[in-house]
Structure 1
Amino acid sequence: MATLHKIALVPTPVVTIDDIRIAATRVQPSIVRTPTLLSRTLSEMTGATVYLKFENLQFTAAYKERGALNKLLQLDEEARSRGVVAASAGNHAQGVAYHGRRLGIPVTIVMPKSTPTVKVQQTESHGATVILFGERFDDAYAHAREVEAERGLTFVHPFDDPHIIAGQGTVALEMLADAPEIDCLVIPIGGGGLISGCATVAKASDPAIEVIGVQAELYPSMFNRISGEHRPIGGDTLAEGIAVNEPGALTSAIVRDKVDKIVLVSERQMERAVALLLQIEKTVVEGAGAAGLAALLSHPERFRGKTVGIVLCGGNIDTRLLANVLLRDLARSGRLARLRIRLQDRPGALFNVARIFDQEGVNILELSHQRIFTNLPAKGLSLDVECETRNQAHLDRLISELRAAAYEVSPVELA
């Protein structure tokens, strides 16, 4: 009697390296092949050899257009003529809108009502029809699926789609072609499309390449799913591009299989990373785009001695927010400070304080007296001085001189 042998069924990968190579050929004529460059200064700072992939130099300033274009190019003529719909408040919207117009495909984008006007205008400038619906992304997403069904449109998912994942994976193909010595990729995670594609490329190229995912501490959705933890999700994060409540099903499976570790980074470290990239590399990134560098700053021992590839995945940051980040970084480094000084309310008091600032070569930017809303005696006042110094040591010397002159002084600290 013949012996029956059980044959183990190996699940077919959702996305393969060949899918990503074909996607690269498909999208290459219409996207920017962004540079992968060594950062000598960041390498010295972190103890790792740091390569940066400048995806903020895409036309829409984000990698998202790679996946969007790969998806749109595979629609048949009937689907193209009907049009597509997507839900997004940011980079995915612009990527779909921009390439949709190029290809003559009608695009509808559903955005939450809270979306900043500038993002709505940018999306409309690419020829898309914008529908504002709901207060949260989840509301906009649900409405986009209703529009899809009602109008017979094709839904372009921001991350949980094999064509999107394959398109995003072309980022890693280019990085490893330009810097084959990279042995560790550090990739931001929101829904998981970018890291799924990049991890597929990395592990197919060399299984020894480490793939490290990065999430904001306030939005550890993929971290929770993979680790089984239940950390709270929500809050105002600088990295709104990766502020996702629920990661994708397809992407979660790929991350579980191919990503070595997920680390979490604080708001403060992302602010620092945004400022450093502008100061050192002279490049503007959004919070999500700085998450990879923030991981190196937060966990230097994890990456020391490695050759690390970081994706600067986007550069769409509000200019006022960027200004705030840069000023806060100056304050944390001691180059900008606000000092609260207790004075007696009498002639010459301000002059005597200002003389010490002059002697120490400190520039006074702004003064604010408080006589009424204070717990000081009626003849006392509180003086806030915003000033500019060379560094922390210079600021410390100023404070020492003020205290030596018998002034009660305290820095107003940042959160």
Structure 2
Amino acid sequence: MSTLPRIQDFDDPSYNPFEAFDGAQGLDIADVYGPISQWQRQALVHPIEYKCLFGLPPDVTTADMRHFTVFGYDLAQYVYSHPEIFSNKIFERMLGPGFGRTVTTMDAPEHTQFRRIFQRAFMPGVVAQWGDSFVQPVVDDLMKPFVDKGKADLVVDFTSLFPFHIIYRQLGLPSDDIRVFHKLAVALTVAGVDVARAMEASAKLGAYYEALTEARYAQPGGDLVSALTQVEVDGERLPKDVLISFMRQLINAAGDTTYRGTSNLLVGLLTHPDQLDALRRDRSLLPAAIEEGLRWEGPVMIGFRTTTRDTELGGMAIPKGAAIHVVNGSASRDSSRYEDPEKFDIFRKPGARHMTFAYGAHVCIGQHLARLEMTRALNALLDSLPNLRLDPGMPPPQIRGCNMRHPQHLHVRFD
């Protein structure tokens, strides 16, 4: 790593992309499910951009498009299951300025061609090996400062850090580059409000990833970048530009969602201490608890598509070239698919799969890694923090956000 260039900060080092990102997510909004339920009862499709329903400004990258917000499980599944009608090309506008030529922006056959190579690198057996080499050491290191104190803020001290530190370790980043790296990675996602900053971050991360991939092509190791440079299917490897774009997207796709998903699951468990006690006694409940947490409060409320032709959804005519906002949160709390859907219940009978990782051809490639990270994190907390409980002397946790949802604090006590 000593031969790699340093990651370059913004030309204006004082720029704070976290403020821009948080502002675009509507983090002052706590109750999204009440309004969503009301809108869903009125109609399954509304001719408006999702976040505009909450009074937030529209996305500048899609300002010239007509927008439709889609509610309910059946319509979400339909949209995700018909990529020939509902295309991922909308992400060329929304993510392209920051991420570049990523698989998220592609449709078949190009998407199919590259996704099968990525999937080979993220097979469950491969991901399982990262548990000991990358995930567990990070979890253990982050818990050391508070494990003997009897109290912690699990968001500030742990969940907001561990998935990002796993990625840093997978990339082999020097510790003094981490702060700038995280700033640039977050800035990639603010194209909806600041295209210029997203493009600046894209160029600077791209230069670093270019050098990193060249080093791994020449001397592969056991890290994720090496796996991606070496993996092949039928003799075909990933083009360098596609690989670099994927790496630009990695921290947001893997870090942000895992951090929020783990935080939300902990809120569910800590506010239902009987279920937390059951999980503490019987760890075989953990897979079901993770799936219920992802269903009950998924970290990402919406997915996006654009129509390739005139079509119809929920009885509403949709023109070609429209922006479709699929409300994953409404699908995962649809009363036609889940009994008492507002309730957090790790004992819920298996039923319809939730939409947190989307569905169909573009279902999340990193879902196995996310589940592995959540499993390791929860087991470590339960093993090392006896009698883990909410701190009665501190404000209770509140999950907030219009799109990306999470609690800002999670104050706990333990023996």
**Higher helix fraction (1 or 2):** 2
Under a length normalisation based on structure 1, what TM-score does the superposition of the two structures give?
Answer: 0.28
Structure with greater Cα Rg: 1
Under a length normalisation based on structure 2, what TM-score does the superposition of the two structures give?
Answer: 0.28
**Higher strand fraction (1 or 2):** 1
